[in-house]
Structure 1
Amino acid sequence: MASNPGVSTGAVVMTALMVTGNMVGAGILALPVNLGPSGLYPAIAGTVCMWLLMTTTAMIYSRQKALVEGEGADLPTFFGCELGRTGKWISVVANMVILYGLLTAYLAGVGSIVVNLFDLSIPEWAALLAYFIPATLLTSFGAEVMRRGNTLLMLCMWGAFAVLVALTVPHMSFARASMHDWGFFPSALPVLLTAFHFHNIIPTICRTLKQDRAAITKTIWIGTSLGLCMNIVWIVVVVCALPMSGSGANIINAFEANQPATVPLARVIGGSTFMDVALLFSIVAMTTSFMANGIALLSFIGDLASPLAGRLRNVVVWPAAFLPPLFVGIVYPDIFLSALDVAGGVGINILFGILPGVLLIKYANGRAMHRWFGMVLVALFSIVLVIELGQEMGLLHISPDVEYWTAKY
């Protein structure tokens, strides 16, 4: 990709904000609850390390000409060419896990937030269905609607985030910062992966910036750094504001109930202003991500259904994309954190963690450092995959040390 001096600073900044907007979604709402029981310092250290790893794999993808230079490029076709039929179908399955898992998490998360924030007497599936209808309608209009409304949604999200932090700060106690339980940390790694996931839009980033490597590099690092700052600020204020255990709203109870961080926070802080802003932030953050991933899923299912005749294909694609997440969300309304675990620990891990390492090894071309670093990436992300699969199959059980935190409090 040759350098293109025509890329403006404004284009870099706007594209970097698009990166941040794609990162900030359900992951940021889950991080304090999933990472909190390990302690503040492990949570921050793990967040910084995962940011470095995921930004690095994004850079690897941005250097793949066959992926980023073609208008119709997609990951299954790309990996089919690079790693053969096996690579293609691994990427297909991983992408399906990511997209279905994230849409399910968004639906379940919004249902949980609406019902629990306002103590409504309706079932969570009803709130989920009420959100599903407008969210899927917006998504069905395609990428153009998302692009036009993206700036407004981002401004709303960041404004609401700033207000949430300001309202939470007075309730913080830094005495909670020194306590930690490293043994729980591995269970939070899948959600950390989700919190730094934006890799699906890398081809769009590269085309927007006219394949200018310097601009692409700067954009990705700026965008992910902004996301890192938001994640760390949110983790710090929530972990220091919420009790870890005990009676009433606390982090461990929220973890066991599969709830986003805004739910226990609202019960501790109280007040209609906080609840209204928490609802706005949660819905906007999840809706931007729901639309981005929903559009990607529609395109993905459309590609898989391409052998079907035109009208039949159109009839099949929408239900195949959106009805499975709706069904799972209705049957299992408390699946928010679990869905994020599967999407991050399996799908994102394989597609945007392990496979970029494999590409680095393949194209090392005698460069020992590249080959070594590729092997490190494969090994690290494989460990996360083993941990997640072990937990899902019941072979590995990592739970918060309630006795430890009760004694500390």
Structure 2
Amino acid sequence: TVVTQLEGDREKITTAIVTGITLPFIMFLTWNAVILGNVLSMDTTTTSLDSSLSDPVALLQQSSEGSGQILSTLVGCFSELALITSLIGFVFGLIDALTDVAGLPVEGPAFKKWKPALFAGVFLPPLALSVGNPDIFYRALDYGGAFGVSTLFLLLPPIMVWKQRYGDDQAPLTTKPMVPFGKLTLASMGVAAGTLIAEQALEKFGFAELFSNL
């Protein structure tokens, strides 16, 4: 973790967290500005070429005149790089997981012997699922983002900190709490995360629409 790697240095931890959040946030805002600015500036003729396109990236790639052509090329390159980097991380992550589960070494003759089987275990199951149900990725991404990511990054951290600070087996803290108000802050984070997950559950399973029609 960040705290362990930075040896509990409060100043370094603060710098790492703020920098790590700020840079992606700036990239996110910049990307949204580019997407929204170009999509909204497109004339009705360009948009009417394919009115079924609701994906802003696809709309940007439709443009083929002037600076729009350059932007279309950049969007395509960015999309390809995002796909490649995600694939690389996915493959290496699953290979590490499979070697741990199977008790195989991560290098050497034994690893080379089982390498084809490991790659088959990485690629064949998702290939079979995607062939059987082409929309399964979007559904998994939708539900994974709504429940998995929210639980992992929003709900579990305050629970873990609460357990570490106020659990029955309280251990001495290596660093002083960096966020004020103690239990109030942790409880607020947990309640907010739980509310978000519950709201997503109501929406995904159709209960929100059911209640709105009552």
CA contact (8 A) 2:202 2:208 kept: yes
- Alignment partner of 1:266 is 2:66: no
SS of the equivalent of 1:369 reads coil
Segments of 5+ residues of structure 2 without an aligned counterpart are 105-109, 168-176, 210-214
Q: CA RMSD in A?
A: 3.7
What's the offset of the Cα at 1:278? 1.4
- Partners of 1:379 and 1:251 in 2: how far apart? 41
In structure 1, the partner of 2:14 is: 217
Q: 1:376 aligns with which of 181, 184, 188?
A: 188
- Alignment partner of 1:358 is 2:170: no
In structure 2, the partner of 1:232 is: 29
Percent of residue pairs bearing the same amino acid type: 22
CA contact (8 A) 2:95 2:118 kept: yes
What's the offset of the Cα at 1:353? 1.7
Give runs of aligned pairs for residues 159-174 of structure 1, distance below 5 A: none
Distance change (3 Å), C-alpha of 1:210 and 1:238: same
Whichever residue aligns with residue 386 of structure 1, its letter is A
- Alignment partner of 1:62 is 2:5: no
- Partners of 1:362 and 1:374 in 2: how far apart? 11
What's the offset of the Cα at 1:213? 4.8
Whichever residue aligns with residue 362 of structure 1, its letter is K
Distance change (3 Å), C-alpha of 1:211 and 1:318: farther
In structure 1, the partner of 2:76 is: 279
> TM-score, structure 1 length as denominator?
0.38
Whichever residue aligns with residue 197 of structure 2, its letter is L
- Partners of 1:213 and 1:228 in 2: how far apart? 22
- Partners of 1:369 and 1:221 in 2: how far apart? 20
CA contact (8 A) 2:61 2:76 kept: no
What's the offset of the Cα at 1:237? 2.7
Greater CA radius of gyration, 1 or 2?
A: 2
Give runs of aligned pairs for residues 84-233 of structure 1, distance below 5 A: 206=5, 212-233=9-30
- Partners of 2:200 and 2:122 in 1: how far apart? 25
Q: What is the number of residues matched between the two proteins?
A: 185
Q: Which has the higher contact order (CA 8 A, sep 6+)?
A: 1
What's the offset of the Cα at 1:281? 0.9
Segments of 5+ residues of structure 1 without an aligned counterpart are 1-60, 69-205, 398-409
What's the offset of the Cα at 1:298? 2.3
> TM-score, structure 2 length as denominator?
0.66
CA contact (8 A) 2:60 2:72 kept: no
- Partners of 1:385 and 1:251 in 2: how far apart? 33
Deviations 1:7-36 (A, max 9, x none): xxxxxxxxxxxxxxxxxxxxxxxxxxxxxx
What's the offset of the Cα at 1:280? 0.8
- Partners of 2:151 and 2:93 in 1: how far apart? 18
CA contact (8 A) 1:262 1:278 kept: yes
What's the offset of the Cα at 1:285? 2.4
In structure 1, the partner of 2:144 is: 343
CA contact (8 A) 1:249 1:264 kept: no
Whichever residue aligns with residue 282 of structure 1, its letter is S
In structure 2, the partner of 1:177 is: none
